[in-house]
Amino acid sequence: MKFYPFLAIIAVLFLASCDSYKQVPYFQDLDRSSVIQQDIRNAVPYTIQPNDILGIYTSDAASREAAEPFNFNLTRENGVNGDSSPTNPITGILVDSKGYIQYPLLGSIKVAGYTITELKEQLTKSLKGTYLKSPIVNVRLLNFRISVMGDVAKPDVYTFQTDNITIPQALAAAGDLSITAKRTTVLLVREVDGKRIFVPIDLTQKKLFESPYYYLRNNDIIYVDPDKTKFATVSRGYRNVTIGIATISALALVATVFLYKR
């Protein structure tokens, strides 16, 4: 009989640990026993926004020299074209606050609201015949950045060389969530057309794959809440340090008084 209280305590701790584990795995309602095929309907082409930086490369099969003036934006920031490190980025073309870029010979061009493909087609059409015989235009977004904050391994601002980034990819770049992170209340912050929206994300459910927010947009922010376990652990650590310092100070004071009296 006297062992029953101990058994009850062990059972409670076991159940509590099981309940906590249920919050850890991703996509819990996804069937893992067979191959599942799902149509992708939420992938929307990226549309260019003010303050984007575009890398535009133009070539011409008929004359390489004729295309060079259009590639001024591909020079390196410190002038060393052989250095492609992150500390020597391509300067690119800035989309101004009204959604325009300044392009050689063509002047001011409205690009905000266009997809990358649409801009390529527009520039190709504008250059063909008038300035170049057979222009080939490639456009890339150079400053696609996602900020990942909170209870992840490496919170930081991450720059990607593609505009097709998903929430799991951004979290993986940040080293994944900590074991103490809340996976059901991840927050996505996005600015669209002068408005800021706050979107709750649940990483434990497969419906994330069908969410219109599954694919990220430039300058999105992901914030991951820590759960109370981490707060309690950190608080306990600070409390232990404080108690330790106080204890050492008290002992030092007693030792000083003792030595003084001698």
Residue carrying the six token digits 């390529």: 120
pLDDT given for residue 262 in this prediction = 59
Q: Map residue 108 onto helix, strand or coil.
A: strand
Q: Specify the pLDDT at position 200.
A: 97
User: What pLDDT is stored for residue 210 in this prediction?
Assistant: 95
pLDDT for 63:
83
The DSSP H or E segment spanning 173 is helix 167-173
Predicted pLDDT at 235:
42
| 54 contacts 93 by C-beta, under 8 angstroms | yes
Cβ–Cβ under 8 Å, residues 185 and 162: no
pLDDT value of residue 25: 87
β-strands 93-94, 135-141: how paired?
unpaired
CATH 3.30.1950.10 for the 53-141 domain, yes or no: yes
Q: Which two tokens stand for residue 165?
A: 């980034």
pLDDT at 129: 87
Terminal CA-CA length for the chain: 57
Neighbour tally for 106: CB within 10 Å: 15
* Predicted pLDDT of residue 256: 61
Give the span between the Cα atoms of 191 and 98, in whole angstroms.
16
pLDDT digits (tens, 9 = 90+) for 199-250: 999 999 999 999 999 999 999 999 999 987 654 444 444 455 455 565 666 5
What confidence score (pLDDT) does residue 144 get?
Answer: 93
pLDDT along the chain (262 residues), means of 10: 49 48 82 88 91 91 85 65 56 91 93 95 93 92 94 96 92 96 96 91 95 95 85 48 58 58 59
Q: What is the C-alpha to C-alpha distance for residues 219 and 148, in angstroms, rounded to an integer? A: 10
At residue 16, the pLDDT reads 46
pLDDT score, position 12:
44
**Structural fold of domain 144-224:** Outer membrane lipoprotein wza fold like (3.10.560)
Q: Tokens 């190709």 belong to which residue?
A: 124
How would you label 42-65 residue by residue, b for 16+ Cβ within 10 Å and e otherwise? eeeebbbbeebbbbbebbbeeeee
Whether this prediction's pTM lies above 0.75 is answered by no
- The pLDDT, as a whole number, for residue 88 is 55
CA gap 209, 38 in Å, rounded:
9
User: Which pLDDT score is estimated for 87?
Assistant: 60
Report which of 183, 164, 166, 163 is spatially closest to residue 26, judged by C-alpha positions.
183
Q: Looking at residue 11, what is its pLDDT?
A: 47
